[in-house]
Structure formats: structure tokens, C-alpha cells
Structure 1
Amino acid sequence: MSGPVPPASDNERTRLAANALDRASTACLAVGIFARLSAATLGSAHVPLLGIVVSFAGWLAAAIMPHMAARRVPED
């Protein structure tokens, strides 16, 4: 059999922490990648290709890290 069931308040805190981290990753994706690509596509700013690639990689990493941390929250 499994161990004791944690109280509902602990479950809710865990869900809130995981959701907050997941929302942070979504915000990084929206701000860092979609905004940058739309600006480059619409021609509002001339950005060298290397700058776009480095920015894309950095923001993608910034989006993946909190998402992965959110997946680990229920395990702790």
C-alpha cells in the first residue's frame, strides 16, 4: 500500500507552485521568442541573424528551466 495521504492544503500548495512555474515559462516563451520573431518579421527593427539566434536560444532555455522545475514540484 501507499503511504499516508497528505492534507488537501499541501496538495493545493504543490499545485499552485507548479502552476506558477509553468506560467513563468509560458511568459518567457511569449516575451522572448514570439515578440522577437514578430518584430523581426514585421520589420520594426533590423536585427542581425546571429542576434535572433542567440536571443531565441537564451529565451528558449529560460522557458524550459521553470517548466522542468514545475514538473519536479510534485515529486518533492
Structure 2
Amino acid sequence: MSTDAAAAKLIANERVKLLANNLDRASTACFTVGVATPLAGALYRVSGINSLPWWWLAAGFAGWLSAATILHFLARRTLTGLLP
């Protein structure tokens, strides 16, 4: 394999890994914003979250957790694009 082809493969793999890392960081942010932060606010009673109906909180948690899960699995699937 020529050095140009090897370099092109290395660059392509790094771009795939960068995209996967960005998607995984976005999934972590979704979890933090939508699940961890409201739970901490409710635990320490520093937000108005306790005044919301339980079903609204459950729907919000489910939505943010679903978004985080989807982004995480998209990141994992992106890694299948790595060149051998």
C-alpha cells in the first residue's frame, strides 16, 4: 500500500472516530440536561420541578433518555465505518 493510500485511510478513520465521539458527547449532554439535572434539582429542592405532575416528569425523562440512547447507538454504528 502506498503512503498516500495509507494516509488517506488514516484520515478517513480519524474522521469517523471524531464523528462517533461527537455523537457520544451529545448523548452524554442529553442525559445530563434531561435526567441528571432535574433529579439533582428535585433531590436538593432547588428548582420548581417538584410542582410538575409526575407524568410530565416521566415523559421528559423518557424523551431525554431516549435521545441519549439513540445518539449513543448512532455513535457505535458510526464506528462500523472504520477501514481495516
**TM-score, normalising length from structure 1?**
0.84
Task: Report the Cα offset of residue 74 of structure 1.
Answer: 2.2
Match of 2:52, SS? coil
Superposition RMSD in Å: 1.5
How many Å separate the matches in 2 of 1:47 and 1:67?
A: 29
Instruction: Name structure 1 gaps, 5 residues minimum.
Output: none
Query: Where does structure 1 differ by over 3 angstroms across 4 or more consecutive aligned residues?
Result: none
2:14 is matched with: 12
Unaligned runs of 5+ in 2: 1-5
CA distance in 2, matches of 1:62, 1:8: 30
| Number of matched pairs | 72
Instruction: Supply the distance in 2 between the matched residues of 1:72 and 1:51 (Cα, whole angstroms).
Output: 31
- What corresponds to 2:40 in structure 1? 38
Give identity over the alignment, percent: 43
Q: Which residue of 1 aligns with 2:24?
A: 22
Q: Secondary structure at the match of 2:25?
A: helix
Where is the helix percentage greater, Structure 1 or Structure 2?
2
Question: Which has the higher Rg, Structure 1 or Structure 2?
Answer: 2
